[in-house]
Homo-oligomer: A and B are copies of this chain.
Amino acid sequence: MSYKEIPRGSLTSPVGFVAGAAQVAIKNKGRFDVGVLYSPTLCSAAGVFTTNKVQAAPVLISRLAAQAGKARAIVVNSGCANACTGEQGLKDAQIMAQKAGEFLGCRKEEVFVASTGVIGVPLPMDKVVLGIRQSSDALTGTGGGKVAEAMMTTDTTVKEVAVEVELAKDQKVIVAGAAKGSGMIHPNMATMLGFITTDAAVSPECLQSILKKANQYSFNMISVDGDTSTNDMVVALASGKAGNKAIESDLSPFYAPFVEAIQYVCMTLAKMIAQDGEGATKFLEVTVEGAKTARDACLGARSVVASNLVKTAIFGEDANWGRIMCALGYSGADFDPNRVEIKIAHVKVAEKGVGVFFSEALVRRILENKNIKIWIHLNQGTEEATAWGCDLSHGYIQINSAYRS
C-alpha cells in the first residue's frame, strides 16, 4: 500500500484546485446547493456515465468534455436533476457551462456540468446562475468540502476522501474525491455523482481507462434500491501540478501506485454512499470468492447485496441464508449450487449448498452490529468480488413515499 489518507482531505487537497459553493434555495434554505470546482491549469479529464437510456441534460454535456479529454471546471447543483426536461433542459445545462466559463475565465467546453435531485422539473435558472456567480466569487484553496456539501440531497453525511501517494522517492501526488448518494443507487457504468481530483500528471486516455476500471469495482458494485439513475456520472480532473513525469500507460513505473490510489478513493466513496443509503440502519458487505470468472463473482455479490429479501432480513437481524442462495441463483452467475459455502461474519451457516448447524443466538448477536459481512465461497475457481449495500428499512419507505425526490 503506497498511499495514506489525508485527514479532512477534500477535492481541493490536490495542488491546483480551488472551489466554492453558494446557497440559492433550489432545495431547502440554509444549505449549499450550487458548487464550482476550478483548476486554472488545463487538466486531463475523464468520465464514466449512466447507461440509463434516459439521460439527463448535464450527462449529455459532460460526456462531451470527457470525450475531449481536457477540462478545467465542474459546476454542480442539487435539488433538481435537469432530467426529462427536453430541449429547455439541454439549453439550461449549456447555460450552466457557459456562465461558469464566463465567471471563471475559461471555455464552456472545459466545464463539466452535474445536476441531482427531482426528475422532470426545469431548473430555476435565475437561482442557478446566481449560485454559479456566487460560487465562482468564493473560490478558495480549501473550498472542496463545500462542493461536497452542495451535492447532497437525501444524503445525511458529506462523502469525501483524499490520499497522498508516493509514486517514487520524493515524488508524491494527491488523489481526492467527493460523491453523493443516497437513493436511485444501483449504478451501471457510473453512480449518481462522483468527482475525482488529482495533481498527478496523467494523460487523458490513461486517466479514462484507470477511472473506468476503478469504477467497475467500486461505484458499480454498490446498490441501495436497484434503480439505475438518469444522472449518474463520475468525472476526474488531473492538474499535473505535482510535476511527476506524466503517466501515459501501464508501462509507467508510477502506474500501479496511482491506480491503487484512484481505486482506494473510488471504493471509499462507494462504501460511503452504501453506508448512507436512504433509510439505512446497517452497512452490508458481500464478498463472493472462488468464482470461475470475475464477472460471475461480480454478478453474484451484486445480486445478493441488491435483494430486497436479503436486505429486509438484515434489517430484521435474521440469519435467513436461504434468501442469499436464492439471490445468487437468479444473479446470472455460473456456479454449482451444491458447492456453495456461506458465512455471516465468521460463522458458517451453509456448506455444499445446504444449511449446517450454527448458533442462532450467536448469529443474531453478530447481526445486531451496524456493519454486516456476508462471505460466499463458490468453490469453482479463484476469482472474487465484493459489493456494498445497506438494509431495507421503514426509513427507506418513509423517505421515498413522502418526498418527491
Contact = CB atoms under 8 A, between A and B. Distances in A.
Nearest to A317: B401
A51 interface: yes
A317 to B, nearest CB: 8
B120 A308 contact: no
Interface stretch (A62-70, A163-171, A209-217, A389-397): A389-397
Given A330-B227, A337-B53, A400 B316 contact: yes
Contacts of A54: 325-326, 328-329, 337, 353
Interface string A316-353: 10101111011111110111011000000000001011
Nearest to A81: B322
A393 B397 contact: yes
Query: How many A residues are at the interface, by size bracket?
Result: 35 or more
Contacts of A183: 309
A191 interface: no
Contacts of A405: 320
A330 B400 contact: no
A83 B322 contact: yes
A299 to B, nearest CB: 11
B326 A230 contact: yes
A354 B309 CA distance: 34
B226 A51 contact: no
Nearest to A331: B53
B401 A312 contact: yes
Nearest to A314: B401
Q: Which 8 A-B residue pairs are closest in the complex by CB-CB distance?
A: A119-B322, A316-B401, A54-B329, A312-B400, A120-B322, A86-B354, A52-B329, A228-B330
Given A55-B329, A308-B400, A320-B404, 11 more contacts: A54-B326, A83-B326, A84-B337, A85-B354, A119-B323, A226-B226, A226-B308, A227-B330, A316-B400, A318-B404, A393-B401
A283 interface: no
Contacts of A120: 321-322, 325, 350, 354-355
Contacts of A397: 312, 315, 392-394, 396-397
